[in-house]
């Protein structure tokens, strides 16, 4: 069956609903280069303004998901659950979380992304480990999942090719911030992992895609709905991204903090979010009866070192040097340090995630365009967060940098990240809501 693209664009423009066949045709034709970019961009812009119905979203996501290979991970006996974060600053949670969950008897076929803009990416952080490979072919991916229960890899070229093409087009056509387009993009990739369940960490605040609880809740509800239409249970936690997560921002810095968290020595917010997301994963997988049971299991995986052992096996299997777990000097470190200090005494009212994330990009820790290189060794350690008390001269952050130009550029934004006040401030809550 063939359709007229101008007619489908007009239908969506005027608020009509497209059929599943029309949407499947559009994805298949676009992926096969038979629909030009200008027509698909016009359609995506119409979706930005008109949205998609539940039926449209289910069909669109399903068509994206089947635009390439879908993993067959049926050789793994364990239940398979993954976590996806919508992205933020200092968000290294996947690295401690996945090994702990695996140590509790759940398989995690995790496919992560790279940092883009002010948000960091798990692949860049993993690649700070000398030798660590994040490109695995589908056979190796399935074998490692079966053997260890955990793979920490990137998305293969053959998985959901429609999303790669459409995401690039959205980036160039001002159509990224659309809840149906974001939801279908994320969910098509996650559903291609052949999962039994998915936990979403929907970030809310200055450093996140979603700036307020209402839009974060809508995004989470939309993704939970797509999961239901594919018989995959999805749970979403809404979590704070007004300030950076943890103390470390930048790739090697975040690897150090991730390893500390696996050892039970991480900062309170990173540890708490790891535990909360882990609880949901264990419950979805059916290996824990409730949150209390799940927490006991996860804490045991920290204190026994079982989570760290899983991570060591994955590092070895993916070509990395597991001695980084005990020897921080094997990770890259930038040559120079600069300390940013408070210019007055007071209470921290704001420690802005977006400013810290942008400052890290200017240092070289992140990339503005997909093809940019990053510097794994540079980063920012945040010493003062909302609710903390500082004196004049108290360190707010330590910057590790490689060139003076990058430091100057970074400080131009970093120094605007903090607001200090005379009024005592409550620490910000970390978990803002949940959607099931």
Neighbour count for residue 13 (Cβ, 10 Å): 15
Q: Given the complex with ligand URA, which of 62 and 257 has the nearer CB atom? A: 62
Pick the catalytic residue from 94, 185, 206, 355. 185
Toward ligand URA, which CB reaches closer, 181 or 256? 181
Q: Kindly name the residue from 189, 247, 313, 358 that is annotated as catalytic.
A: 189
Nearer to ligand URA, 181 or 314 (CB): 181
Q: How far is the CB of 42 from ligand URA (least distance, A)?
A: 18
Please indicate whether residue 84 is annotated as part of the active site: yes
For the CB of residue 188, give the shortest distance to ligand URA in the complex, in Å: 9
Catalytic one of 163, 196, 269, 352:
163
- Chain centre distance of CA 217: 17
Distances from the Cα of 225 to the Cα of 62, 228, 254, angstroms: 13, 5, 33
- Given 50, 83, 84, 383, which residue is catalytic? 84
- Classify the phi-psi angles of 305: left when phi > 0, otherwise alpha if psi is within -120 to 50, otherwise beta: left
Q: Closer CB to ligand URA, residue 104 or residue 192? A: 192
* Structural tokens at position 260: 């500390």
**Least distance from ligand URA to the Cβ atom of residue 37, Å:** 17
Nearer to ligand URA, 182 or 435 (CB): 182
Residue 43 or 167 with smaller CB distance to ligand URA: 167
182 part of the interface to ligand URA, by CB under 6 A? yes
By beta-carbon proximity to ligand URA, the closer residue of 105 and 113 is 113
Interaction between residue 185 and ligand URA (CB under 6 A): yes
Name which of 196, 197, 118, 109 is nearest 150 in CA terms. 109
State whether residue 159 is helix, strand or coil.
strand
What does the angle CA 86 – CA 211 – CA 198 come to, to the nearest 5 degrees? 25
In the set 64, 71, 100, 186, which binds ligand URA (CB under 6 A)? 186
CB of 172 to ligand URA, least distance (A): 13
211 given a catalytic annotation: no
- Output the smallest distance, CB 105 to ligand URA, in A: 28
Rounded to the nearest whole angstrom, what is the least distance from the CB of residue 414 to ligand URA in the complex? 25
Give the nearest distance from C-beta 364 to ligand URA in angstroms. Answer: 23
Radius of gyration from C-alpha coordinates of the chain = 22
Q: Which residues pair with 239 in a beta bridge?
A: 203, 431
Task: Give the number of other Cβ atoms within 10 Å of residue 295's Cβ.
Answer: 16
Nearest to 125 by CA among 274, 264, 320, 337: 320
Stretch that binds ligand URA, among 44-52, 123-131, 142-150, 179-187 (CB under 6 A): 179-187
**Structural contact between residues 239 and 202, judged by C-beta atoms closer than 8 angstroms:** yes
> How far apart (Å, rounded) are the C-alpha atoms in residues 49 and 66?
26
Name the token pair of 146: 């079966």
Residue 192 as a binder of ligand URA (CB under 6 A): the answer is no
CA dihedral 324, 328, 333, 339 (to 10 degrees): 150
Residue whose CB is less far from ligand URA, 224 or 283 = 224
Q: How many residues bind ligand URA (CB under 6 A)?
A: 5
Active site residue 370: no
According to the binding rule CB under 6 A, does residue 381 interact with ligand URA?
Answer: no
**DSSP letters along 376-387, please?**
TT-EEEE---TT
- 58 is an interface residue for ligand URA by CB under 6 A: no
Cβ-proximal residue to ligand URA, closest one: 185
What is the spatial distance between Cα 49 and Cα 151, in angstroms, rounded to a whole number? 38
State the DSSP H helix or E strand holding residue 56, giving kind and residue range, or none if neither.
Answer: helix 54-65
Give alpha helix (H) positions in 127-264: 138-148, 161-173, 179-191, 213-229, 251-262
Classify residue 249 by its DSSP letter: E
Compute the least distance from the CB of residue 177 to ligand URA, in Å.
Answer: 9
Give, as ranges, the residues between 139 and 178 that touch ligand URA (CB under 6 A).
167
Give the max Cα distance, the chain: 71
Q: Does the active-site annotation cover 170?
A: yes
Cα atoms found within 13 Å of the Cα of residue 285, Cβ hemisphere only: 26
Please report how close the Cβ of residue 189 comes to ligand URA at its closest, in angstroms: 6
Tell me whether residue 37 is one of the annotated catalytic residues: no
Of 182 and 360, nearer to ligand URA (C-beta) is 182
Q: Which of these ranges, 181-189, 223-231, 332-340, 342-350, lies near ligand URA under the rule CB under 6 A?
A: 181-189
Residues in the site for ligand URA, rule: CB under 6 A?
167, 181-182, 185-186
| Active site amino acids | 84, 163, 170, 185, 189
């Amino acid at each position: 069956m063939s359709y007229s693209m101008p007619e489908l664009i007009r239908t969506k423009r005027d608020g009509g609903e497209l059929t599943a066949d029309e949407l499947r045709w559009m994805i298949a034709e676009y992926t096969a280069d038979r629909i030009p970019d200008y027509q698909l961009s016009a359609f995506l812009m119409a979706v930005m303004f008109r949205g998609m119905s539940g039926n449209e979203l289910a069909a669109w996501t399903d068509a994206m998901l089947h635009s390439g290979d879908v993993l067959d991970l049926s050789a793994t006996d364990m239940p398979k659950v993954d976590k996806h974060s919508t992205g933020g600053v200092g968000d290294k949670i996947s690295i401690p979380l996945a090994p702990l969950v695996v140590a509790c008897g759940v398989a995690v076929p995790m496919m992560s992304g790279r940092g883009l803009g002010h948000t960091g990416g798990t692949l860049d952080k993993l690649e700070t480990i000398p030798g660590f490979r994040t490109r695995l072919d589908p056979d190796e991916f399935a074998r490692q999942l079966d053997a260890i229960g955990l793979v920490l890899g990137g998305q293969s070229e053959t998985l959901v090719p429609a999303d790669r093409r459409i995401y690039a087009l959205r980036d160039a056509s001002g159509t990224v911030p659309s809840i149906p387009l974001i939801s279908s993009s994320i969910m098509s990739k996650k559903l291609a992992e052949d999962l039994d369940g998915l936990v979403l960490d929907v970030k809310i605040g200055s450093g996140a895609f979603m700036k307020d609880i209402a839009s974060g809740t809508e995004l989470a509800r939309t993704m939970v709905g797509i999961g239901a239409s594919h018989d995959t249970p999805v749970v979403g936690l809404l979590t704070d991204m007004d300030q950076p997560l943890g103390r470390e921002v930048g790739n090697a810095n975040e690897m150090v903090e991730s390893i500390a968290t696996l050892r039970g020595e991480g900062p309170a917010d990173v540890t708490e979010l790891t535990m909360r997301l882990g609880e949901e994963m264990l419950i979805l997988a059916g290996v824990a009866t409730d949150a209390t049971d799940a927490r006991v299991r996860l804490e045991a995986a920290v204190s026994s070192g079982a989570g760290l052992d899983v991570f060591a096996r994955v590092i070895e299997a993916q070509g990395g040097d597991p001695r980084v777990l005990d020897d921080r000097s094997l990770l890259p470190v930038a040559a120079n340090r600069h300390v940013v200090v408070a210019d007055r005494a007071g209470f921290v009212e704001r420690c802005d995630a977006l400013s810290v994330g942008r400052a890290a990009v200017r240092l070289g820790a992140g990339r503005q365009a997909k093809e940019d290189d990053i510097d794994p060794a540079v980063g920012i350690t945040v010493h003062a967060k909302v609710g903390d008390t500082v004196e004049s001269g108290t360190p707010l952050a330590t910057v590790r940098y490689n060139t003076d130009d990058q430091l100057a550029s970074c400080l131009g934004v970093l120094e605007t990240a903090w607001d200090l006040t005379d009024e005592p401030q409550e620490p910000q809550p970390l978990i803002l809501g949940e959607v099931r």
